[in-house]
Amino acid sequence: EIVLTQSPGTLSLSPGERATLSCRASQTVSNSYFAWYQQKPGQAPRLLIYDASRRAAGIPDRFSGSGSGTDFTLTISRLEPEDFAVYYCQQYGTSQLTFGGGTKVEIK
Amino acid sequence: EVQLVESGGGLVQPGGSLRLSCAGSGFTFSSYWMHWVRQAPGKGLVWVSRIKTDGSYTNYADSVKGRFTISRDNAKNTLYLQMNSLTAEDSAVYYCAGGGSGYYGSWGQGTLVTVSS
């Protein structure tokens, strides 16, 4: 099983700032089969990025994904008030799909 | 509009069984891989199981293998999760999610399963 470690655990930023979230895999994620989700309290997760860098339908272009191998990054170029949430990374390169533990982006 | 609605959650005793359902609408259900993902209160997301579009392939997280069974009825646009030999560690909100074989763009609102005596 591929273990995903997200950092930092919590990111305290102000609206308008840039957010950089990291996810490191315990082994290479094949074909960059990697996704990012956003979850707000009391809501289901929402797909943001798939295949490491492809934005899902309806996702604003301030969200971008990058990376390959074992290191992946989600960048939010300028934080909007609605972006404060928990973000999860996920790999689907093996038969055992796994999620990271999450990064909470909170208002500073 | 894509909709996924889970049902069947509730309180069950340790060792008991429960069957979850997920009804899909607003999309071609038979074209989507379907997954179950769970989330214990205050914790992160955990993938549980997935099933291919036509039901010909399934696989499970090691933590539920041999105890849970995923299935689908494309004629009824419904996904199922049969859960047996439940333990307290299975207590969580269970989400159904649809999309590709690995990632999911559509999620239900979740159904809460509590395993307790």
Sign of the torsion angle spanned by Cα atoms A41, A42, A46, A52: positive
Do the Cβ atoms of B105 and A96 come within 8 Å? Answer: no
Tell me what the mean pLDDT of segment A75-85 comes to: 97
- pLDDT of B10 > 90? The answer is yes
pLDDT at A31 (0 to 100): 87
Paired strand residues for A35: A90
Query: What is the rounded distance in angstroms from the CA atom of residue A91 to the CA atom of residue A36?
Result: 9
pLDDT at A85 (0 to 100): 98
A98 touches chain B (CB under 8 A): yes
In B, minimum Cα distance to A52 occurs at B103
In 3-state terms chain B splits into helix, strand, coil percentages (rounded to 5) of 5, 55, 40
- A92, A96, A98, A103: best mutation site toward chain B, by most B Cβ within 10 Å? A92
* Residue B16 binned pLDDT confidence (cut-offs 50, 70, 90): very high
For residue range B33-52, what is the model confidence (pLDDT) as tens digits?
999 999 999 999 999 999 99
In one letter, which amino acid is A25? A
- pLDDT of B22 > 90? The answer is yes
- B39, B63, B64, B104: best mutation site toward chain A, by most A Cβ within 10 Å? B104
Query: What is the rounded distance in angstroms from the CA atom of residue B87 to the CA atom of residue B64?
Result: 10
Query: What is the rounded distance in angstroms from the CA atom of residue A24 to the CA atom of residue A40?
Result: 23
Cα distances from B79 to residues A79, B87, B95, in angstroms, run 37, 22, 11
Query: What is the rounded distance in angstroms from the CA atom of residue B78 to the CA atom of residue B106?
Result: 14
The number of residues in chain B equals: 117
Residue A107 contacts residue A84 (beta carbons within 8 Å) = yes
* Residue B25 binned pLDDT confidence (cut-offs 50, 70, 90): very high
For residue range A9-68, what is the model confidence (pLDDT) as tens digits?
999 999 999 999 999 999 999 889 999 999 999 999 999 999 999 999 999 999 999 999
pLDDT > 70 fraction of chain B, expressed in percent and rounded: 100
Q: What is the DSSP string of A41-68?
A: TTS--EEEEETTTEEPTT--TTEEEEEE
Q: Could you tell me which of B57, B85, B109, B51 has the C-alpha nearest to residue A39?
A: B109
How far A87 CA lies from chain B's nearest CA (Å)? 10
Do the Cβ atoms of B105 and A57 come within 8 Å? Answer: yes
Chains A, B: CB pairs < 8 Å? 54
A88 touches chain B (CB under 8 A): yes
* Torsions phi, psi for A8 (to 5 deg): -75, 175
CB contacts under 8 A, A 45-64 vs B, are: 45-47, 50, 56-57
Query: What is the rounded distance in angstroms from the CA atom of residue B110 to the CA atom of residue B117?
Result: 23
Query: What is the rounded distance in angstroms from the CA atom of residue A20 to the CA atom of residue A61?
Result: 15
